[in-house]
Amino acid sequence: MLTRYERQRILPEIGDSGQEKLSKAKVLVIGFGGLGTPAATYLAEAGIGHLEIVDTDTVSLTNLNRQYLFTEKDIDSYKAHVAERVIGRMNAEISVHGKAQHIDASHIDTAVRGFDAVVDCVDSLETRKIVHDACLKRNIPLIEGGIDGFHGFVACIKKGFPCLNCMGFFSGKQKETTPVLGAVAGIIGSMQALETIKILLHIEDVPFGKILYYDAKRQELEQVDIPGNPECVCHKES
């Protein structure tokens, strides 16, 4: 029912035709933690027709400072199963499917195939790279997000633009435990949802080939161009 989306349909960038685009869109959210929770929430409420949420982890007590859709009763349950139930209840007009599945190189092509956009909300560099490279290979827009304490970033990746591999992003060292403030995760996850919606609606000014850095202490955003690299393996393969 379009009445549900009345307040966003009056936006000239959306309207009835844009809402129809959203209702037909298929989006994959990888990771249902501090970023995936707000990202999936706002995608569902915007009326994305089909959401698939993949996460292999179970809920722990340490998740509850930021992953606000979980309660103490959900501890030890698979996040993907809780996601399907809770996100599905938010909007009966859409399809929500949760998969308790680990993402690895052996099946990533199958995992991302058929989606209009992929939202990457994981904190593993290895998984990020697998998803990043697969989306470039299949020409699927990727919306990356990350947080570290009071700081976060969002990057929109698409074939034909400088990518994270160009800047050596994946050569960094994986932190054993990343500090996370729940409110910062909420902001970055919401930004990922927003950029996803813009991409699906073909709204101009999506920052492809750029990184948006967020400093929560100063409440500042900085947009930085990703330096292109002609020797980048991802571009050579594409």
Q: What is the pLDDT along the chain (238 residues), one digit of tens a residue?
A: 679 999 999 999 999 999 999 999 999 999 999 999 999 999 999 999 999 999 999 999 999 999 999 999 999 999 999 999 999 999 999 999 999 999 999 999 999 999 999 999 999 999 999 999 999 999 999 999 999 999 999 999 999 999 999 999 998 777 778 899 999 999 999 999 999 999 999 998 999 999 999 999 999 999 999 998 888 888 765 4
For residue 7, the Cα-to-chain-centroid distance in whole angstroms is 24
Q: pLDDT value at position 238?
A: 46
C-alpha–C-alpha distance, residues 182 and 66, integer Å: 4
Residue of 232, 41, 70 lying closest to 137 (CA atoms): 232
CA end-to-end span of the chain, whole Å?
Answer: 41
* Residues facing 119 on adjacent strands: 29, 143
Q: pLDDT value at position 1?
A: 66
C-alpha–C-alpha distance, residues 116 and 155, integer Å: 17
The answer to whether residues 120 and 145 touch, using CB atoms and an 8 Å cutoff, is yes
In which element (H, E) is residue 117 found? strand 117-120
The answer to whether residues 96 and 88 touch, using CB atoms and an 8 Å cutoff, is yes
Q: pLDDT value at position 235?
A: 76
Q: What is the pTM of this model?
A: 0.95
- Enumerate long-range contacts of 83-92, CB under 8 Å, 24 or more apart: 83/32, 83/36, 83/40, 83/53, 83/55, 84/53, 87/40, 87/41, 87/44, 87/51, 87/53, 90/41, 90/44, 90/45, 91/4, 91/44, 91/45, 91/47
Q: Over the stretch 175-210, which tens digit does the pLDDT of each residue have? A: 778 899 999 999 999 999 999 999 999 998 999 999
